[in-house]
């Protein structure tokens, strides 16, 4: 006897399709599929051996669990249509899988007595097949009605995942961190490969050269954590090498140069955190990354917090507050052509 709830998928994209297939394998009962794309909806309905519906409302009516796995911009509208046309009922659980949006976007279903919860898999999905492979073992961020959380937790465990619960107000910050870790890692890989292509390597050669380095770095992070896994010129306080990099990168576009400088500044803070460089070395490196020309500067002032530099925040009249908690002397910044910072 199957004691697990029935479910419907509304939005047969990569995430919705992967979740649907995996839940069916775990004993959940698929009862319906709807998607704007008839092709993807038919494909998923055939995989699940479930009914293909012509609208989201009828698909939702048939299920205990309703997954709205559309694009983020369509989640609120879809939930409102389902609620307005009688597609949800008391005790039913409506789930979206957006990382950026809280469950509040589905408020209309709550007004009809259903419970709303967001279940976001902290994973990247390049295809339906990769989504099915990557979901088991992934972490899920849960947020929503307390009545719905126990079942959401059980569902994640059935998917062989782990979970943590966050507040609705924290969803944007949570998602920003995920974007940095995943999307921006892809951008960094693309940037590194593009530099190697300047040296004559083709895309495949660049990727093959860089991937073992990336994999080794990930292995180190897994073993000792990001702070202790840091290596390279910043971790050694090697200002000369950093200057050489900046000089070489000056031949490339300003975006590449800005990425290198911004990440370098952040890495200075990481090197200070793990104790691999001194405060003076951190200050010197920060000034290099900031391209700072000091006016009558006798000390090492930079974009470091007061406790990192050891200076007093109000000890000199000629201080410039750079951001909350950060102070320094007056600096001249070398601007980009056209007298302005890049947009």
Instruction: Pick one of 3.40.50.720, 3.20.10.10, 3.40.50.2000, 3.40.640.10 as the CATH number of 6-167.
Output: 3.40.50.720
Q: What is the pTM of this model?
A: 0.81
pLDDT tens digits for 156-215?
Answer: 999 999 999 999 999 999 999 999 999 999 999 999 999 999 999 999 999 999 999 999
CA–CA distances in Å: residue 50 to residues 18, 30, 53: 15, 6, 9
For residue 9, give both structure tokens.
């998928």
Whole-number average pLDDT of the chain = 87
Q: How confident is the model at residue 2 (pLDDT cuts 50, 70, 90)?
A: low
- In 3D space, the residue among 155, 166, 198, 197 whose CA is nearest the CA of residue 67 turns out to be 155
Q: Among the listed ranges 175-179, 194-198, 238-242, 300-304, which one has the minimum average pLDDT value?
A: 300-304
Per domain, the residue ranges of the chain are: 6-167, 182-225
Taking the C-alpha atoms of residue 6 and residue 113, their distance in angstroms, rounded to an integer, is 18
């Amino acid at each position: 006897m199957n004691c697990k709830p029935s479910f419907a998928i509304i939005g047969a994209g990569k995430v919705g399709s992967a979740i649907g297939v995996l839940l069916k394998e775990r004993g959940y009962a698929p009862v319906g599929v709807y998607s704007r794309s008839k092709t993807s909806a038919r494909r998923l309905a055939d995989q699940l051996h479930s009914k293909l519906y012509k609208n989201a409302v009828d698909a939702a009516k048939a299920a205990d669990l309703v997954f709205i796995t559309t694009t983020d911009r369509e989640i609120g509208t879809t939930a409102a249509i389902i609620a307005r046309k009688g597609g949800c009922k008391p005790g039913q659980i409506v789930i979206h899988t957006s990382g950026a949006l809280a469950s509040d976007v589905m408020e209309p279903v709550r007004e009809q007595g259903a419970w709303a919860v967001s279940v976001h898999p902290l994973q990247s999905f390049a295809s339906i097949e990769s989504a099915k492979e990557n979901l088991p073992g992934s972490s899920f961020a849960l947020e929503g009605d307390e009545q719905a959380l126990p079942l959401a937790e059980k569902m994640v465990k059935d998917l062989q995942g782990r979970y943590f619960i966050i507040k609705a107000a924290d969803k944007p910050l949570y998602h920003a961190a995920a974007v940095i870790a995943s999307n921006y890692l892809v951008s960094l890989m693309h940037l590194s490969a593009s530099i190697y292509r300047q040296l004559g390597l083709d895309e495949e050669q660049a990727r093959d050269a860089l991937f073992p380095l990336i994999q080794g770095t990930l292995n180190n992070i897994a073993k000792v954590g990001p702070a202790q896994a840091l290596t390279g010129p910043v971790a050694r306080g090697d200002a000369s090498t950093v200057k050489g990099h900046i000089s070489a990168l000056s031949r490339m576009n300003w975006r590449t140069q800005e990425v290198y400088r911004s990440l370098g500044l952040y890495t200075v803070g990481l090197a200070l955190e793990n104790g691999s460089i001194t405060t003076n070395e951190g200050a010197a490196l920060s000034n290099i990354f900031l391209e700072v020309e000091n006016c009558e500067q006798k000390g090492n002032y930079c974009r470091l917090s007061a406790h990192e530099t050891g200076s007093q925040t109000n000890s000199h009249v000629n201080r410039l507050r750079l951001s909350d908690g950060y102070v320094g002397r007056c600096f001249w910044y070398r601007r980009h052509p056209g007298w302005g910072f890049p947009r």
